[in-house]
Amino acid sequence: MKRIRIFVLLLGVCFASVAWSQQNGWSEFHRHNMQRRNPYETVLNVSDVGKLVLKWSYQTGDQISYGSPAVANGVVYVGSLDHNVYALNAASGVKVWSYTTGYQVYSSPAVANGVVYVGSDDDNVYALNAKTGHKLWSYTTGYWIPASPTVANGVVYVGSDDSYVYALNASTGALLWKYLTEQGQAIGSSPALVNGALYIGGGGGVFYALNASTGGLLWRYYPGYYAYTSPAVAKGVVYSGSGANGEGGNVYALNASTGAELWSDSIGSTYSSPAVANGVVYIGGGQDNTVYALKAKTGARLWSYATGKDVDSSPAVANGVVYVGSYDGNVYALNASTGALLWSYTTGGAVESSPVVTSGMLYVGSDDGKVYAFGLP
């Protein structure tokens, strides 16, 4: 009986360790909470983030553009415009494997159940073995796939520049359903999945809510500007930005059930996707070179921080700190409550990539072609 108790205890510890690892990782663009925040980060905080140092960098063959790294089980996965998807040791930066697609990879990888899912501008969605990089399957859409997949409940959801949203069987790649958006515009948005609804922005200037099981339309909202940013969902509200190519733009709060507008604020044209944490929405203002913090209930501006150039990078929030990149070549750490600068690092190119924070480490890509990893000394 004593041996049984010890075995059960060890089994419980093992399961708890796996669960903690899954929670504390950053396995896809949104994270599983669809809010671009990591509530499990306990190492980096307002007091010590200023001590961050470069732990390693890895040079790919071209820009790491809008793609965000994914971190799971001690490995960093990232796509590059050199056509490759890379798996790097999260502690050392040593390459574990790389997989060559047919064209540029803007898409952020999503990792689930030992598989890496990623889109490529060769028109394919790929499923790769997370340990070896071996291709498990691919699915061909009608055009480029700059969008980042979202994976949940055995389904891969992804948008394509052919104007469709796709739902694919995660094990086989078989098509479950597809939805044609309006006006034949590209979809660069990564969908957010909450309570059986799939929320996604369409390039033609429409936000959509779809039934995640069937692809049926639940509601749509017309912001009046292009909607390339990826929505975040918190407490029954969908937050998203709009605007591109120098046109006007806003950040919106919409009722998740009905699509009714709750509030909007003009921040200018942006590709930045919002992060939501502790009742605050954080988003880059795109061409006005500014990071904004807005009250989630009302949209009231709490603070703003000016960088040197456009902020199309999407913020990440963890333990009281906001991390974001800028076209001025810097990645920034800001106090989430006040907007005060806590730390910055200058890379060799524009930082369009969106940072991720997990287990005391900050990972981000740059247009200089490098993946950067920062940690405490």
- Structural domain containing residue 364: 2-375
Quick one: pLDDT at residue 277? 97
Which CATH number characterizes residue 231's domain?
2.130.10.10
**How many Cβ atoms from other residues are within 10 Å of residue 61's Cβ?**
11
pLDDT in tens, 241-299: 876 555 567 889 999 999 999 999 888 777 889 999 999 999 998 678 999 999 999 99
> 267 vs 123, 311, 334, CA distance in Å?
32, 11, 19
**Nearest CA-CA partner of 374 in 101, 91, 159:** 91
Contacts of 188 (CB under 8 A, 6+ apart): 66, 146, 147, 159, 161, 201, 203, 228, 271
Q: How far is CA 278 from the centre of its chain?
A: 19
3 state SS of 18: helix
Contacts of 73 (CB under 8 A, 6+ apart): 21, 25, 111, 130
Quick one: pLDDT at residue 187? 87
pLDDT in tens, 217-226: 999 998 877 7
| Tokens matching residue 194 | 């909450």
Q: How many domains does the chain have?
A: 1
> 377 vs 50, 54, 371, CA distance in Å?
11, 9, 19
Q: If pLDDT is split at 50, 70 and 90, which confidence band does 7 have? A: very low
pLDDT in tens, 129-172: 999 999 999 999 999 999 999 999 999 999 999 999 999 999 99
| Tokens matching residue 274 | 């919002």
